[in-house]
Amino acid sequence: MIGISALSYDLEQKISLFHEYKDIEFIEYGIDESKDIEALNHHMSKKENKDIKISIHLPLKTNLVEDIGFLRDANFNYVRNIIREVSYLKPLYFNTHLGNVFYGKYTSNYKKYIQKANEFIQRLLVEFPNINIYTENVYSFLNQASSDLCAVGTKPIEFMDLFEIANNKSLGFCFDLGHALIQDEDFSNVIKNYNSMLHFNLNDKTSDQHLGLSKTGKYTKKIFYELIDKYGFSYIVLELDSSKAKETIEILELNKL
């Protein structure tokens, strides 16, 4: 299934693309706060949108590896409330980043934090047994000498360890191509061994530009189809702004309604 990403500010434009191209089968909608849910409810209440399939990208600040108790509980309660409020839409899946932690604490005992991520996810899956969760790879520019917060989920081993511990078919991997390009990591073993979906976007390997395909230049449709043919992702999301998404859709020659 091929979908497109949306946030509250461009949801209307992305819905228009959904209605224009029959090969666009769903919208992955990013939620950070309650007003984002209100915007989603507003659009989904319209008769012409009743057939749109939705998936949810949980808040970017969701921190599955938080080790301060009351902050961890607050994180969980917020995510739980989001899932409850959108459950009527029967989302295809929920996507999340793993979060962040102080670099020194993480490197001294990283498996402790992978276990914390697992506990957070398992707690959600116990409360909501019918949902599917995908965890996404990210990137970090952190200097290793720094004591600052580091992003969790930049390396394949983190996901291999998480999925081995979790051993749950409701948990999968979201391969963000753009993030992997910046981080210069090979996630092929994770993708091959676990249920995986794709966030498709490109960049120059220095910043998260969210570039799409182009009719001229190096970013041609060959890049896209080689990935799809090699891995056969469960879901594919064009994680692009409206203009880049439309151009990419046209280059891929997806069918119009």
Give 10: exposed, middle or buried? Use CB within 10 Å, 0-12, 13-18, 19+: middle
pLDDT value of position 219: 78
Task: Of 82, 83, 81, 168, give the one whose Cα is nearest residue 117.
Answer: 168
- Work out the pLDDT band at 40, boundaries 50, 70, 90: very high
Q: Could you say which DSSP state residue 254 is in?
A: P
Instruction: Note whether 131 and 94 are within 8 A (CB).
Output: yes
- Work out the pLDDT band at 220, boundaries 50, 70, 90: confident
CATH number of 2-251: 3.20.20.150
pLDDT value of position 88: 97
pLDDT value of position 187: 98
pLDDT value of position 239: 98
Give 124: exposed, middle or buried? Use CB within 10 Å, 0-12, 13-18, 19+: buried
Measure Cα distances from 139 to 151, 153, 205 in Å: 7, 8, 11
pLDDT for residue 175 is more than 80:
yes
